[in-house]
Amino acid sequence: MVIEATSGKPVGCGMNVDSVMAVIGPRVVCVRGPSKSGKTAMCERLIEGLGQAGLRVAYIKRTHHVLDLPEKSSGRIWSAGPALMVIRATDRVQVTSPVGTSELSHLLDMVPRGIDIALVETHQPEPYPTILAEALLPAENEQVFGSWRLPDIDDAVTRVLPGMISLVEGGRLLDHLLA
């Protein structure tokens, strides 16, 4: 791809670098393991460490639990069928949209611009770099770059954080080259 120096647009395609980066999106890392293996604890610690490194992290998880209590107003409103629901509480803003598919690509499409890394807590293999619970064997072609077991989760976080940070920094270098 050739970038025009003055406009930042790839030559001949009419898109600027921001548009290209919006298509590329954040770097994605999966945390995969069976139930009760410490996936959520691993994600909590990674989010804290990545945040301390100045990175903006999105957390993605598929769950079989309902999000709203049926007896609360948000549950009743959601049952009425809005196309989108935004709730501001004292501690956060929650944006809820209809289910769509459970495909990770659909969920990643919902991550806003400006997020550096999307951390995906999952039971199933995905085509992204993965931190794998030692209780599992890697799936065929799974890109495992770290592992953990529950008692040693803090040590595992210390081992994988530098690689995650460099994954984002390498992407930022590419961003600057395209800009």
Q: How far apart are CA 99 and CA 119, in angstroms?
A: 20
Is residue 174 scored above 70 in pLDDT? no
Same domain, 92 and 156: no
Q: What is the pLDDT of residue 2?
A: 42
The residue behind tokens 């989010």 is: 47
Same domain, 109 and 149: yes
- Of 82, 98, 114, which residue constitutes the final position of a domain? 98
Q: What is the pLDDT of residue 153?
A: 94
The residue behind tokens 């890109």 is: 143
In the chain, what percentage of residues exceed pLDDT 90?
A: 47
Query: Could you tell me if residue 3 is inside a domain?
Result: no
Q: What is the pLDDT of residue 57?
A: 96
- Per-residue pLDDT reduced to its tens digit, 98-128: 887 888 988 888 888 889 999 999 999 999 9
Q: What is the pLDDT of residue 69?
A: 65
Q: Which of 41, 49, 80 is nearest to 160 (CA)?
A: 49
- Per-residue pLDDT reduced to its tens digit, 46-83: 999 999 999 999 999 988 777 766 677 888 888 888 88
Is residue 167 scored above 50 in pLDDT? yes
Average pLDDT estimate for 6-27? 51
Burial class (CB in 10 A: 0-12, 13-18, 19+), 101: exposed
Q: What is the pLDDT of residue 68?
A: 65
Q: Convert 147-169 into a string of H (helix), E (strand) and C (coil).
A: EECHHHHHHHHHHHHHHHHHHHH
Same domain, 75 and 138: no
Same domain, 118 and 141: yes
- Could you count the other beta carbons within 10 Å of the beta carbon of residue 38? 21
Cβ distance 16 to 8 under 8 Å?
yes
Query: Could you tell me if residue 16 is inside a domain?
Result: no
* Total of domains in the chain: 2
Same domain, 158 and 119: yes
> In this structure, are strands 27-32 and 117-122 parallel, antiparallel, or unpaired?
parallel
Same domain, 119 and 77: no
Same domain, 41 and 120: yes
Same domain, 53 and 93: no
pLDDT mean across residues, the chain? 82
Range of the domain at 164: 26-62+102-173
Is residue 35 scored above 80 in pLDDT? yes
Query: Could you tell me if residue 13 is inside a domain?
Result: no
> In this structure, are strands 130-133 and 144-148 parallel, antiparallel, or unpaired?
parallel
Q: How far apart are CA 92 and CA 53, in angstroms?
A: 22
Same domain, 141 and 107: yes
Residues 6+ apart with CB under 8 A from 130: 29, 30, 31, 32, 138, 142, 143, 144, 145
Same domain, 94 and 113: no
